[in-house]
Structure 1
Amino acid sequence: MTDLTTLKLYATRPHACSYLPGEDATTVFIDPTASIDAAVYSDLSRYGFRRSGSHVYRPHCETCHACIPIRLLTQEFKPNRAQKRCQKTNSDLSITFVDSIDTDEHYSVYERYINDRHSDGDMFPPSRGQYTDFLTAEWGATRYIEMRSAEGELLAVAVTDFLDHGLSAVYSFFSPQAAKRSLGSFAVLHQIQLAQEKKLPYLYLGYWIRKCQKMSYKTLFQPYQVMVGQNWVTVTDKPPEVASKMQLL
């Protein structure tokens, strides 16, 4: 593993939390001038760090510990009935890797997605600059996954980072007009499949907040692990002993 002790961390000032009303949030960032590569980024992921564009960060709030790192155990995953239906519904899609999503076509889908699904979040209103900065390809680890209809219409994009021990689901967005396809869930299912094919044990889904409805989908993919303290704990149907620990976070 890479020695991470030499990396400097910087903290933001407390600011209003985007997910929990009435809470203040503080974020720590890896020094943006630090030399980061795919190996360092992979190691940081093991400790609950994520990236937004080229910035690698982790929540570090003084009084609230609701943001819990979560990752799926891909080799043990078995789709439930609803997830199998989702796979079947989307079996007609054409799925390919592309090198860039810096086009009007891709941005149009992103813009409609943010306006429809996240008009109450800190990514609203969307802009081309925000889109470009947020969904960059970093350290040679990033792949863009396109999902198109049989007629060639772009329906969804999944931005995925390939780590040395798993995949990281950076972000996905889809056409609101195709909501019945459950493309957000399908993007996760496809990334699980990719990890299984490459024999990678984990798919990182960022952070899970128990009281945030928009994040509840993450625990529908089982088994998964959450970070309790500095340890990853496996959860299947939230057994009581783990659920009680999570209540304390």
Structure 2
Amino acid sequence: MKHNPLHNARFFFATAPLPCPYLPGRIERRVVTELVGRDASVVHDQLSLAGFRRSHNIAYAPACPGCQACHAVRVRADEFSPSRSHRRILNRNSHLRVEEKAPEATVEQFAVFAAYQDSRHAGGDMAKMGSQDYQTLVEDTPVETSLVEFRHPDGILVAGCLVDRVENGLSAVYSFFDPELHRASLGTYMILWMIGRARELNLRYVYLGFWIAGSAKMSYKAKFQPLEARKPDGWRALTAEETGSGERKTAQPAASRNGL
């Protein structure tokens, strides 16, 4: 019989209640557990299937009282077909040089990360992070993780994303970009890159974190179809009507250098 590491003694804890950052008047709580030991990667894989996310060496999932609005979502990379706007974004950023690296923080990365936080999340907890905090975010990982850098041909770093490898896909941990280049849609481009990379690796999914219907902050995730959500009874495909995403798709072309 195949050993299931989740059957080992493992402690789960509930966080203190805090105001929900997405839904006014709601309370946020999470269930968390440490990813430690030799089986950390296997546990991470299985918890990802259960709708958990990773931050540092912690796996967490929503456990909010009286609310089930938050759902972990994943894109079916093997069935994804870019929309017209996705095609434009891919073309707009086709000149960027992509480098997959070990999860090692640099001063250059932190400068872009800090500018992104100041522009997009001023006043939030992550905007208060110093260089040591950023280093911990990147390097404190017990699983297979890459730091992907996106650079102009002249070598200037414009974006980065932290990506976990799980058994059946890639998981987007965190991404950031130069806020001066907001018209380049670099956030969307990095997700498109991850989808293409998953296809190159013959992986079925790209995990995008949590999604709430009607949340403007999370609406971008619904633009990547087919999209599946982790419900109480398992993963289920979300329709374009459920997500409010009805953009017309283009025909699937031959594979490009982005894998799309």
TM-score calculated relative to the size of structure 2: 0.87
* Alpha-carbon distance, 1:124 to partner: 2.5
Contact 1:36 1:139 (8 Å CA) reproduced: no
Write the deviation string for residues 178-202 of structure 1: whole angstroms up to 9, x where unpaired: 1111000000000000110111111
Q: Percent identity among equivalent residues?
A: 35
CA distance 1:100–1:70, shift in 2 (3 Å):
closer
Q: State how 1:100-111 maps to structure 2 within 5 Å.
A: 100-111=103-114
* Alpha-carbon distance, 1:17 to partner: 1.6
Q: Give the corresponding residue for 1:217.
A: 220
Write the deviation string for residues 1-33 of structure 1: whole angstroms up to 9, x where unpaired: 734133221111211222222211111111466
Q: Give the corresponding residue for 2:249.
A: none
Q: State how 1:74-223 maps to structure 2 within 5 Å.
A: 74-136=77-139, 138-223=141-226
Q: Give the corresponding residue for 1:243.
A: none
* Alpha-carbon distance, 1:236 to partner: 3.3
* Counterparts of 1:159 and 1:235, CA distance in 2: 26
* Counterparts of 2:13 and 2:37, CA distance in 1: 12
Identify the match of residue 47 of structure 1 among 35, 46, 50.
50
Q: Which runs of 5+ in 2 are unaligned?
A: 244-260
SS of the equivalent of 1:45 reads: helix
Write the deviation string for residues 22-50 of structure 1: whole angstroms up to 9, x where unpaired: 21111111146666421221111000010
Q: Which runs of 5+ in 1 are unaligned?
A: 241-249
Aligned AA (2:234)? N
Aligned AA (1:52)? S
Question: CA-atom RMSD, angstroms?
Answer: 1.8
CA distance 1:100–1:46, shift in 2 (3 Å):
closer
Deviates more, 1:73-82 or 1:211-220: 211-220
- 2:237 counterpart of 1:237: no
Q: Give the corresponding residue for 1:247.
A: none
* Alpha-carbon distance, 1:132 to partner: 2.2
TM-score calculated relative to the size of structure 1: 0.90
* Counterparts of 2:218 and 2:23, CA distance in 1: 12
Identify the match of residue 64 of structure 2 among 61, 64, 72.
61
Write the deviation string for residues 189-220 of structure 1: whole angstroms up to 9, x where unpaired: 00000110111111100100123211100010
Identify the match of residue 31 of structure 2 among 28, 33, 42.
28
Contact 1:95 1:147 (8 Å CA) reproduced: yes
Aligned AA (1:104)? V
